[in-house]
Chains A and B, each alone.
Chain A
Amino acid sequence: MRKASSFFASCAFFLLPAWGQISFVWRLPLFFLWNLYAERQPSREQYLTYEIIYPKRRFVNFRHSWNGFQEVMLTEPLQQYLSARANGGKDPWQDYLENYWALKHPGFRSLVHHLYNGPADYAQFPAWFSRYLSSIVGSPLSRIQILAKTLKFEPDGRISAVHADTVLVIP
């Protein structure tokens, strides 16, 4: 009896929040949407990658999957910064939170401005990126260039760059 009740309590404890996160607007980290690769991933014609080049034409190369922590810290904020720049210097979250979420939940309106990046945060990003990469490389870097490269797979599995564009230069 005790076993059965502990089983049902556990099921309720773990499954109700799962239902909740689907139904409601907020999420909890312990009940993440465990939906990695749940979206269909059809093969594409082209893939985008960012190449981070620093002096003497060296580039950041994440050779091993255990470099993942560093890779996430370098590439995700970089993409955030670039997407904000493409959005006129505004955090894309700002649009969503201010113009959609806060309208639906007016009681939280005064709080939402803490939850997105402002111009001052973006202004600090290039200096931080340079400082962080310098600490990883182990020497101060004077110039960092970031290229957005479009890659294409050949039928034999080889891969080549079809286009490269400088998206950011940090002096």
Chain B
Amino acid sequence: MDNSQRKTLVRTLSGYILLFLILRFAQHATPSRLLEPPLHQEGLDITYWIFQLLNIPAALLENRVGAIVFDGLLFSSGILCCIFPLKRRFLIPFSIGLFAYALAFNRAATHHTHALAGVMIVLLPFWVAGNQKCYLLWQGVRYYCCYVYGMSFLWKIRSSGSFYFWQQGTGTFKINLADYLYHNPSTLAAELYRLLLRHDWLLNGGASLIFILEGLMILGFFTKRWDKILFWFPITIHLATYFFSDVMFFELLVLDFAFLSLKQIDQIRSFGRKALFIDYWNPSNNR
């Protein structure tokens, strides 16, 4: 990995994360817009325990000024990361802020959502100064991505055997979309959903296919030859769960960038330069 590839990666990751932070802000889901939520849940997660016992939520969530300052710092450090991707003095605070935000949101929601897990660690490799060490750690993110989906598959085989339960697709669909179908019975999506319920083999077959895609991600532990294909599996999984389980996990796809080769990162860079007319304005910078 060289400096330009590193810059492209940091800009792509920070930009992707910022897009979802903006959506979260618009959705009243960042600390300044949560308006000091009174309830919390730490569960049995030691990180949340430390977060709570150090009284960090008092500054980030329960104090109006603290929450506004936190949001301001989170967004500004993210923007500065995009502008100066090699400056670790912006990247480190941004990744710490993301980690704290994930804990704060899940704690206040009294539900530990999984979608932010990728955002919590994806920038950590770029804390390291040397490009080669950074690239090795970046490969760790790739393994973590394989772990996430592989583990998800193993749980479905091991814990309760939902992988072998043919009605899983219909059951998941109904529990998640009952509310939507009740409140929005006349939409085109509701029409499609009712059609799927009448032909439930489509839902059950689809669920089995998703489980198999999760399992196939384990291949990534053993070879990189399949990376071009594995890249598309998480995208397929989360598009399917978005439409058929009513859960948005697109933030987790930030881990999926680890399946891109250095050549593909170069292609993203030249695409970005063309799209922003950078070479046109400053041809000397064209590498």
Binding site for B on A (CB under 8 A): 6-7, 10-11, 13-15, 18, 25-30, 32-44, 47, 49, 59, 61-63, 65-70, 72-73, 76-77, 80-81, 93, 101, 111, 114-115, 117, 121-122, 124-125, 128, 131-132, 135-136, 149, 151, 153, 156-161
Q: Which one of B5-13, B241-249, B273-281 is at the A interface?
A: B241-249
**Cβ–Cβ contact A14 & B152, under 8 A:** no
Q: A29-B103, A34-B148, A47-B178 are in contact. List 10 more A-B contacts (CB 8 A).
A: A15-B147, A30-B120, A37-B172, A72-B113, A73-B28, A115-B52, A121-B39, A124-B38, A135-B35, A158-B181
**Contact call B44/A26, Cβ cutoff below 8 A:** yes
- CB contacts under 8 Å to A, within B17-64, are 23-24, 27-29, 33-49, 52-53
A139 CA to B167 CA, complexed, in Å: 44
- Taken together as a complex, chains A and B put the C-alpha atoms of A66 and B193 apart, in Å, by 18
For chain B, the count of residues having a C-beta within 8 Å of the partner chain is 83
B40: chain A residues at CB < 8 Å are: 117, 121
Q: Nearest CB to that of A81 among chain B residues?
A: B39
Q: From DSSP, what is the main secondary structure of chain B's interface residues?
A: helix
Verify A80–B49 contact, CB threshold 8 A: no
**Which residue numbers of B lie inside 8 Å of A, CB to CB?**
23-24, 27-29, 33-49, 52-53, 102-103, 105-106, 108-114, 117, 120-121, 136, 139-140, 143-144, 147-149, 151-152, 155-156, 159-162, 165, 167-168, 170-172, 174-175, 178-185, 193-198, 221, 242-243, 245-248
A18 touches B151 (CB 8 A): yes
B36 and A128 form a contact (CB under 8 A): yes
- Shortest CB-to-CB span from B174 to chain A, Å, is 6
B112 touches A114 (CB 8 A): no
Query: Could you say which residues of chain A place their CB within 8 Å of the CB of B148?
Result: 34
A10 touches B140 (CB 8 A): yes
- Complex CA–CA separation, A37 to B194 (angstroms): 21
Assess the A114–B183 pair: CB atoms within 8 A. no
10 nearest interchain CB pairs?
A41-B171, A157-B194, A157-B197, A69-B29, A124-B38, A38-B155, A34-B152, A76-B111, A47-B178, A35-B155
A135–B171 touching, CB < 8 Å: no
Q: Which residue of B lies closest to A128 (CB)?
A: B38
Across the interface, do A32 and B182 meet the contact criterion of CB distance under 8 Å? no
B38 touches A34 (CB 8 A): no
30 contacts between A and B (CB under 8 A): A10-B139, A11-B221, A14-B144, A27-B43, A29-B112, A29-B117, A30-B144, A34-B148, A34-B155, A37-B156, A38-B156, A38-B159, A40-B162, A40-B165, A47-B174, A67-B27, A68-B247, A70-B29, A72-B111, A73-B29, A76-B110, A77-B37, A80-B41, A117-B41, A128-B36, A132-B37, A135-B28, A151-B179, A159-B185, A161-B182
